[in-house]
A and B are shown apart, each in its own frame.
Chain A
């Protein structure tokens, strides 16, 4: 069943286009950020992370940008594919805390 995704903002993109998913974080002391992908009925899957001493980090088809000035994080997915359809959410870690603070998520829909 679908428990993730109700009342979430949705981004709809054409297959092959680039996607940009945004996240605003609240704590200026946050020093580590993670993007997760969650497909229907599954647990969140790690995509990419970035530490606060970096502005940009690239993975395979994904790039994370961090703007500490405005407390903004974005995930860019190049050449979006149908398999990228999922809910994406960011998480932040503050200082040496054990806990992550999770964003509410964005649903990405890829149109064929």
Chain B
């Protein structure tokens, strides 16, 4: 089975803190994604990566950055957390492009106070 693992399930951070959300996949997938999910807004793409050290902005990249130093690992970084970044963050991955299912991790619940 595909395994996408998000290391932190629940985090509480203070406004202004730097936050790292880590994600690892074990299927040698080329593509990795970070989404956030909010009530009434559904899933929104923050960033994605199609190869090591490659990244592209999604629909809502402001306030976030990402890092992909190894194929299996994709990190989401909040440089200075704000309360409007309180959300559920979902990492996902899949093989190359097009007709391939995206598999999700279990999610990381971030609360910024």
Q: A3-B87, A43-B105, A98-B48 are in contact. Are A104 and B42 (CB under 8 A)?
A: yes
Say what secondary structure dominates the interface of chain A: loop
Q: Which residues of B contact A (CB under 8 A)?
A: 4, 31, 37-40, 42-43, 45, 48, 50, 56, 58, 87-88, 90, 97-99, 101-107, 109
Q: Is the CB of B90 within 8 A of A96?
A: no
- Closest beta carbon of chain A to B113's beta carbon, Å: 15
Complex Cα distance, B98 from A51, in Å, reads 11
Can you give 13 A-B contacts (C-beta < 8 A)? A1-B109, A3-B87, A3-B88, A4-B37, A5-B39, A6-B39, A7-B40, A32-B98, A43-B90, A43-B106, A49-B101, A93-B99, A96-B97
Residues from chain A with Cβ under 8 Å of B103 in the complex: 46
Task: Report how many residues on chain A are interfacial, defined by Cβ distance under 8 Å.
Answer: 31
